[in-house]
Amino acid sequence: MTAQTVPGTEATALPAVHRSRRATVLGLTGTAAVLLAMAALPYLVDSGVTGQLVKLCYLVALASMWNLLTGYAGMMSMGQQAFIGLGAYLLFVVNDHGVNVYAGTLVVSALVALLAWPLSYLAFRLRGGYFAVGTWVIAEVVRLIVVRFDSLGAASGRSLSDVTADPVLRRAFTYWLALAVMAAAVLGTYAMLRSRLGLGLQAIRDDDTAAGSLGVDVTRGKRTVYIAAAAGCAAAGAVICVNSLGVASPTQIFGVQYSALMVFMVIIGGIGTVEGPVIGALAYFLLDKYFAQSGVWYLVVVGAVAIAVSLYLPRGLWGTFAQRTGWAVFPVRHTVGR
């Protein structure tokens, strides 16, 4: 006897969710090749070239962290300089306790992540524009606390005491550190967005109330991103400190200009994309390299670029390109089909 299906009991096949595995493999392979080529630069080019690329690396890291906060979690922070400054000053602390500055960068990132956890409870009491202002206030409070410690140079800043004496080796090690921080920021962001948390973040960004009603743990997702971005900014701050052999001024390392730079780079490159901050950081790096000595014209050029992109390419350089071509180096989209 042949089994028959009772009408009304047929199983309904759910649509399958696919990811572009081929595009992912190609993107990661290309990224690995670029990183390996960049890692070999100290053996191939003058140390002055790698010295300039250190700035590009930490700019990419900073832009990626701000994009993770705002572009994917919907948190408009104007106080990430708090964690940049903490990263630099905590490097003095761990260095004074015998930890090498290069290994100390990892320690500093972990310490700042721990500090960001209680700070998140304070910041998350605010929403929207109040959150942006509140994070800036937190950064100022952190700066005022740090400058009260004479061992950290008080209001005058201080220099590192344990850095490789050979200038060639120091520049090479600093470059490799900056490259590692950049790679961790970009690939870490991509890995997070490819996870279950990444799906929740995009729902939170669009409408956190609706996301919560669908079962997304909004507060946990935002706190995870907030802590991760703090750790990334701290690592970038440590790189800035190592590259400058210290901190010349606490006002500068805790300056709001870093948040302004992050906003500029992400808007120029394309907010809400993994590649956008990289393109935006590269664009700013080139503008700074070729126009920084032009006085007031430097600000004119930077402002003109920002206005032009905002008006004619509201999705940013990479965002517009990706929209028109559908191409991505780091695909995070999901395709629904049978």
- Mean pLDDT score, 94-119: 94
| Per-residue confidence band for 195, with pLDDT thresholds at 50, 70 and 90 | confident
The pLDDT of residue 116: 96
- Mean pLDDT score, 245-259: 89
Residue 15 scores a pLDDT above 90: no
Write the DSSP assignment of 117-168 as a string of letters. HHHHHHHTT--THHHHHHHHHHHHHHHHHHTT-GGGTGGG-EE-S---SSHH
What DSSP designation does 330 have? Answer: S
Tokens representing 59 are 């700019």
pLDDT digits 0-9 by tens, 5-14: 555 544 445 4
Beta strands in 6-86, from DSSP E residues, in sequence order: 16-18
Nearest C-alpha neighbor of 65 from the set 258, 261, 228: 228
Whole-angstrom distance, CA of residue 190 vs CA of residue 104? 25
Q: Tell me which of 36 and 326 has the higher pLDDT.
A: 36
As a whole number, the mean pLDDT across the chain is 87
pLDDT digits 0-9 by tens, 46-103: 888 999 999 999 999 999 999 999 998 889 999 999 999 999 999 999 998 889 899 9
Tokens representing 71 are 């572009």
Residue 313 CB partners (closer than 8 Å, separation 6+): 319, 320
The pLDDT of residue 11: 47
The domains of the chain are located at 20-330
Whole-angstrom distance, CA of residue 264 vs CA of residue 277? 9
Amino acid symbol at 180: A
- Mean pLDDT score, 268-290: 94
Element (H, E) at 246: strand 246-247
pLDDT digits 0-9 by tens, 135-186: 999 999 999 999 998 888 878 888 887 676 678 888 999 999 999 999 999 9
Q: Which fold has domain 20-330?
A: ABC transporter involved in vitamin B12 uptake, BtuC (1.10.3470)
* 3-state secondary structure (DSSP) of residue 336: strand
